[in-house]
Structure formats: structure tokens, C-alpha cells
């Protein structure tokens, strides 16, 4: 029995049919993971900026500017972010959350959406006089 040179012509096609779906799956997984990481980093940056803004402005102004920053730099246009800025005597707090949509091919692994949350706190204990006063009042109350 002799092998002909042309008998292996279909082998490349079969190998491509096996490898191409796996390659595409890996590429789309990298894109999905990258978009989620980008959004998480963006939320961390916005939370840090929000803490700075809450310390110097009203909470409403801080929320507005943080939302503008998030919407202008978002990986997905139209992604809804929930921004909460709270200011008290002893602590400022910014919480940003969003539900990041997942590509249909990964929904059986991750679900329809991935919940992302970023929180940043700043307390008044770094300010000597105010921190001391807050500490004294909290012990009496």
C-alpha cells in the first residue's frame, strides 16, 4: 500500500476546524476579561477622585462629576453606574457599583452580569484637631 502526496490535503482543514473555535474562545475571553478589568480600574480611579471632591464640595457635585468621568471613559457606552457620595462629620465615603454585562458565550460561567463595586473612605482622624474632637464626642455618646 502506497501513500499518495495528495492524501493529506484535508488534514489542514480538519485541524483548522478543531483549533479555530478554541482560538476564538480564548480571544473573546481575553476581550471580556480586559473590559471587566478596565471598568474596575476606572471605578477605582473615579472613587479616589470622588473622595477628593466630597472633601471640598457638596456630595451632589461630587456625584455629578464622578458620573461624568465614568461615562466619558467607560469601556461600554451606556453602562449604568450607581454613584453614592456621603459626607459626615467623621468620614467621607464614595461607593460606585455597576452590573457589567457578559458576552452570551460566557454567561454559563459568569452569569448574565458581573457585579462590580468600588468603595473609598476617608476619615477625619488624619486631621489632628477634628479627629480628636470626633474621638472625644464618640466616647461620650
In the chain, how many H helices and how many E strands?
4, 3
Q: Using CA atoms, how far apart are residues 103 and 31, in angstroms rounded to an integer?
A: 10
The answer to whether position 2 is within a domain reads no
Mean of the per-residue pLDDT values of the chain? 84
Eight-state DSSP code of residue 115: E
Which grid cell sits at 115?
A: 457585579
Report yes or no: 53 and 61 within 8 Å, Cβ to Cβ: yes
Report yes or no: 85 and 66 within 8 Å, Cβ to Cβ: yes
Q: What is the pLDDT of residue 55?
A: 83
Residues in the chain: 141
Residue 23 pLDDT exceeds 90: yes
The answer to whether position 4 is within a domain reads no
The answer to whether position 63 is within a domain reads yes
pLDDT tens-digit series, residues 115-136 = 999 999 887 665 544 544 555 5
The answer to whether position 56 is within a domain reads yes
Cα–Cα nearest to 70, from 95, 33, 102:
95
Domain count, the chain: 1
Range of the domain at 65: 13-140
Q: What is the pLDDT of residue 119?
A: 92
The residue behind cell 457620595 is 85
Cα–Cα nearest to 34, from 103, 91, 98:
103
**Residues above pLDDT 70, as percent of the chain:** 82
Classify residue 123 by burial, with Cβ atoms within 10 Å: 0-12, 13-18, 19+.
middle
Q: What is the pLDDT of residue 89?
A: 78
pLDDT tens-digit series, residues 32-71 = 999 999 999 999 999 999 998 988 888 889 999 999 999 9
The answer to whether position 81 is within a domain reads yes
The answer to whether position 114 is within a domain reads yes
The answer to whether position 86 is within a domain reads yes
Q: What is the pLDDT of residue 70?
A: 94
- Average pLDDT rounded to a whole number, residues 8-23: 88
Q: What is the pLDDT of residue 128?
A: 46
Amino acid at each position: 500500500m502506497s501513500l499518495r502526496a495528495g492524501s493529506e490535503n484535508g488534514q489542514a482543514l480538519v485541524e483548522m476546524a478543531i483549533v479555530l473555535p478554541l482560538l476564538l474562545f480564548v480571544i473573546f475571553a481575553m476581550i471580556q476579561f480586559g473590559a471587566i478589568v478596565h471598568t474596575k480600574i476606572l471605578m477605582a480611579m473615579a472613587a479616589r477622585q470622588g473622595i477628593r471632591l466630597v472633601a471640598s464640595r457638596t456630595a451632589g457635585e461630587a456625584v455629578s462629576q464622578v458620573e461624568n468621568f465614568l461615562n466619558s471613559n467607560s469601556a461600554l457606552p451606556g453602562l449604568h453606574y450607581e454613584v453614592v457620595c456621603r459626607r459626615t462629620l467623621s468620614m467621607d465615603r464614595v461607593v460606585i457599583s455597576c452590573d457589567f454585562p457578559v458576552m452570551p458565550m460566557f454567561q454559563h460561567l459568569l452569569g448574565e452580569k458581573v457585579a462590580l463595586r468600588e468603595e473609598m473612605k476617608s476619615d477625619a482622624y488624619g486631621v489632628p484637631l477634628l479627629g480628636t474632637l470626633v474621638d472625644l464626642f464618640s466616647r461620650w455618646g
